[in-house]
Amino acid sequence: MLFHQVILKLRPRSRGFHLVTSEILSAVPEIAKVKGGFLHLFLQHTSASILIGENADPDVRADMERWANQAVPDGAPYFEHTLEGVDDMPAHVKSGLFGGQLSIPVKDGKLLLGTWQGIYLGEHRDGGGSRNVVATIWGQD
């Protein structure tokens, strides 16, 4: 049985949805040893999100960002939490909507993502900085 855990630091990104599959995989080469198991990803932030989305057409990520910003607008008058900027409370709401963790099955050293699936980081703040992800691999080696 294999168990491996690491905290990886994703490089800072601009606001939006970003494909981070390759960055995560390069940080956890131990996946190659797993015959069957899981990769669990936990984002240690409340103003960003991690999710599965379309990995081919970048228009999908741009559409996700436009929808999220329209659904939860910066500076909405009903938000009371504004001390950290007009984008902070909307970022918390978006993080709650999209989520902060994933479990992805692994077989024969590869993530069992669908053909058009990739791992997204949703950066919901302007200047959010680098983001930490706890990556835990467990399974049969």
Sheet holding 110-111, edge to edge: 2-10, 131-140, 36-43, 101-107, 110-111
pLDDT in tens, 27-46: 999 999 999 999 999 999 99
Structural domain harbouring 28? 2-127+134-140
Kindly indicate the confidence band of residue 92, based on its pLDDT and cuts at 50, 70 and 90: very high
3-state class of 13 per DSSP? coil
Q: What CATH number did the domain enclosing 100 receive?
A: 2.60.120.460
Q: Are 16 and 123 in contact (CB under 8 A)?
A: yes
**Residue 62 — pLDDT band, cuts 50, 70, 90?**
very high
- Determine the average pLDDT of the residues in 94-105: 98
CA-CA distance, 136 to 103, in Å (whole number)?
9
Total domains present in the chain: 1
